[in-house]
Amino acid sequence: MAKKTTTTKATEADAIDFRKRIQKTIDSLKALNKSQAEVAKKHPEFGKLATYSIDGLTKLLNGKEFVNFGLIADCPRLVKHFAKHRAKAKECFCNCQGAVALVGRDATYYEGVVATDLTQGKVDTLAHHGWIVVDGMVYDPTLERAAKQFGIKLGPRRYFGVALSFKMVTANVVENNARPFLDLSFLT
């Protein structure tokens, strides 16, 4: 059976635009953190005000973009795992970190953002997300499961994120129940 792959047309300009959007968000969060620190100094009665982590965003600036993705059914390394451990919708971190921890070093866990609803002239919908990469191809069990469960047709999408080591992923699965590594909570 031939491997099905889908490619989203992306240009270097898209990647540059994406990095500019991340940098703009970082600058906004830095300014917000600075102004909140100034308010806290002037008004100690407010107590500690929330500050926003920019760690995850900074890591994303050095991330990698993927536009090629395939179906789990076309990746023998993942088929066996997902036959035993069915992916759940809205559980991307657990689905993908668990798979990488059990499949081994043949698969790499990536975390970052997925851009969906790629329509010319519209703003992408960005979501904090985790996925698996095998041989340079993205496999996304979570979106596949959600598509089946909710009857949604998967459209074009782009993935942009950072690879996390096998050692880090397995430790996170055991110690933290596969929580996300990056703080991108402002996206949701």
Q: Model confidence over 56-71: pLDDT tens digits?
A: 666 777 788 888 889 9
Which structure tokens are listed for 45?
């009665």
Predicted local distance difference test score (pLDDT) of residue 110: 95
More confident position, 118 or 102: 102
Q: So what's the pLDDT on residue 73?
A: 95
pLDDT at position 48:
55
How many other C-beta atoms lie within 10 A of the C-beta of residue 131?
24
What's the confidence (pLDDT) of residue 65?
83
Q: Which two tokens stand for residue 170?
A: 């397995």
- Beta bridge partners of residue 69, listed in sequence order: 6, 138
The per-residue pLDDT for 157 is: 82
> What pLDDT was estimated at residue 37?
72
Helix (H, G, I), strand (E, B) or coil at 101: helix
pLDDT in tens, 68-86: 889 999 999 899 999 999 9
Please give the structure tokens belonging to residue 29. Answer: 């969060």
Collapse the DSSP code of 158 into the 3-class scheme (helix H, G, I; strand E, B; otherwise coil) and give the result: strand
Q: Which residues contact 38 (CB under 8 A, 6 or more apart)?
A: none
pLDDT in tens, 5-53: 555 555 667 667 767 777 777 777 677 667 767 766 776 665 555 555 5
What per-residue confidence (pLDDT) applies to 66? 84
Instruction: Quote the pTM value.
Output: 0.73
Task: Write down the domain spans for the chain.
Answer: 12-53, 58-187
Residue 173: its pLDDT value, please?
A: 93
pLDDT in tens, 121-180: 555 567 889 999 999 999 999 999 998 998 888 877 888 888 999 999 999 999 988 999
